[in-house]
Amino acid sequence: MQTRYIFITGGVVSSLGKGIASASLGALLQARGYKVRLRKLDPYLNVDPGTMSPYQHGEVYVTDDGAETDLDLGHYERFTGVASRQSDNITTGRIYSTVISRERHGDYLGATVQVIPHVTDAIKEFVLSDPGEAEFVLCEVGGTVGDIESLPFLEAIRQLGNELGRERTMYVHLTLVPYIPSAGELKTKPTQHSVKELLSVGIQPDALLARCDRPLPPGEKRKIALFCNVREDAVIPALDVDTIYQVPISYHEQGFDNVVVRHFGLDKEPAGQAEPNLGRWEHIAGRIRAPEGEVKIAVVGKYTHFLDSYKSLNEALIHGGIHNNVKVKLDWIESEIFESEGAIEKLEGVNGILVPGGFGERGSEGKIAAARFAREHKVPYFGICFGMQMAVIEVARHLAGIAKAGSTEFGPCEEPVVGLMTEWMRGNTRELRSADANVGGTMRLGAYDCALKPGSRVAEIYGQQQISERHRHRYEVNINYMKRLEEAGLTFSGMSPDKSLPEIVEFADHPWFIGVQFHPELKSKPFDTHPLFASFVQAAIAQSRLV
């Protein structure tokens, strides 16, 4: 089957959940037996989101091939199980830097380089590149229709509709149908305006996803169809749901997958199944709705009032709950508070403590205090990346007698138990860094193998001795301190294959105390919980029976 392209745009306001909508449509087509790929076109000028603050952008999602990408790629992967790649996320910054370097190279010699056709050609090249075996490529356009920034992307997808033909392209537009309490009505006007905006750049949507907080009455649906020139059954009400994992089911109930296959003429000669198999999603939603118990986990971090910064982590903990059939109640705590006297008591009564990835000195002492509390009170502790580094500093200071233990991330340090990584192996190639190198895209990024110590806790949890996990860090635990830390009770249970980089530490004299240098949350799926999250939540359940 030839690859077909579905473009998803958004209108009216941002934050309508275009990422989840795209991911859910991907899951739905997959449930009908089709192979899918999802891509994101981001209108900002950063080459990638790696240099943006979590407050600006939310989580940076890292792929196996080491790309720092938009967090929507995490949704795509969680909903479809298809591993995202560098080639699945492009930004205006990357497009322009490609076009400008081609210009300098002389590739356009003689021509005036312009948005149309040079920039739009580069965008189209990206959209069409490397579809692999995908029968459907779903392309989400970031931003909201009407923004200046997204115009070249809209122009490029408009051209693609012309070039590939309508039988190979489809435009889906996500809008908002707000309820106005004083009128007691759902209003369709913003949707009409948003579609008008899209029409002004030459795109006629084929289907509309109408976000609403209550059922869309047939009259309103007809009105949207009429004014927006969309078939009535292609106006899909996208009602608010209690869990994001319900979205594929609810889209199917509204007939969305039928509209899509009909658009491509696949209803007459289906290459997939006539009905999707949604068993997986029903099981997940069922477990979320009817858990058998509850555990309380404290997440001690820095960006806790902006939860998009911890998107994958939040989901992975939910997956741990699904796996163990419990509700995981999360207590997001700003680590800095533990730097004040007596505040640590806040952690009494929690069944698990997780210190996630992070950057910079602010709040680090609070994280060290949280790790200490977990170790001393035998509360399950999960340290991820920065959370592992802080736990190692904690053990160094309080058990190994290295009072001045610290990280060079915070400046010069007498006892650099955590230090800058300047050299490491990626397969057979040596990667080199220096303190004054560019910051964009230069961390240790992406999938690296790790060898687990036979008989260790983590080897038991993973059920294997060779694993591969995704990384995003610049600092590492300094192996020169390994011997002293081991004598203090810390086991180095996961190492890079050349044994130079500590990847996992665990504390044996404890119910569950594990620190990992990588980000396991990036690979967890609702239908395939990451083993560390499954095990951590299980340890929290065991702990909850003790309190």
Which residues contribute to the site for ligand GLN (CB under 6 A)? 357-359, 385-386, 409, 472-475
The residue (of 161 and 356) whose beta carbon lies closer to ligand GLN is 356
Tell me which of 385, 471, 473, 476 is the catalytic residue.
Answer: 385
Instruction: Output phi, psi for 112, to 5 deg.
Output: -85, 125
Largest CA distance in the chain: 76
Parallel/antiparallel/unpaired status of strands 89-91 and 36-42: parallel
Tell me which of 323, 510, 519, 530 is the catalytic residue.
Answer: 519
The residue (of 321 and 357) whose beta carbon lies closer to ligand GLN is 357
What's the 3-state SS for 115-138?
Answer: HHHHHHHHHHHHHHCCCCCCCEEE
The residue (of 358 and 531) whose beta carbon lies closer to ligand GLN is 358
Asked if residues 1 and 137 have their Cβ atoms less than 8 Å apart, the reply is no
Measured CA to CA in angstroms, residue 527 lies from 22, 81, 93, 340, 536 at distances of 18, 9, 35, 41, 17
Q: Is 58 helix (H, G, I), strand (E, B) or coil?
A: coil
For the bound state, the minimum distance from the C-beta of residue 58 to ligand GLN, rounded and expressed in Å, comes to 14
Nearest alpha carbon to residue 11 among 24, 1, 21: 21
The residue (of 11 and 357) whose beta carbon lies closer to ligand GLN is 357
Q: Is 31 helix (H, G, I), strand (E, B) or coil?
A: helix
Give the C-alpha separation, 157 to 453, whole Å. Answer: 50
The residue (of 475 and 481) whose beta carbon lies closer to ligand GLN is 475
Tell me which of 118, 173, 521, 530 is the catalytic residue.
Answer: 521
What's the 3-state SS for 264-330?
Answer: CCCCCCCCCCCCCCCHHHHHHHHHHHCCCCEEEEEEEECCCCCHHHHHHHHHHHHHHHHHHCCEEEE
Give the C-alpha separation, 258 to 229, whole Å. Answer: 19
For the bound state, the minimum distance from the C-beta of residue 344 to ligand GLN, rounded and expressed in Å, comes to 22
For the bound state, the minimum distance from the C-beta of residue 387 to ligand GLN, rounded and expressed in Å, comes to 7
For the bound state, the minimum distance from the C-beta of residue 373 to ligand GLN, rounded and expressed in Å, comes to 20
Neighbours of 293 (CB within 10 A): 12
212 noted as active-site residue: no
The residue (of 126 and 475) whose beta carbon lies closer to ligand GLN is 475
The residue (of 293 and 360) whose beta carbon lies closer to ligand GLN is 360
385 noted as active-site residue: yes
The residue (of 135 and 469) whose beta carbon lies closer to ligand GLN is 469
**DSSP-assigned states of every residue in 83-107:** PP-GGGEEEHHHHHHHHHHHHHHTT
Give the C-alpha separation, 92 to 84, whole Å. Answer: 19
Please tell me the number of Cα atoms within 13 Å of 135 on its side-chain side: 15
275 noted as active-site residue: no
**DSSP-assigned states of every residue in 430-454:** EEE--TTS-STT-SEEEEEEEEEPT
Give first-to-last CA distance, the chain, whole Å: 58
Active site residues: 385, 519, 521
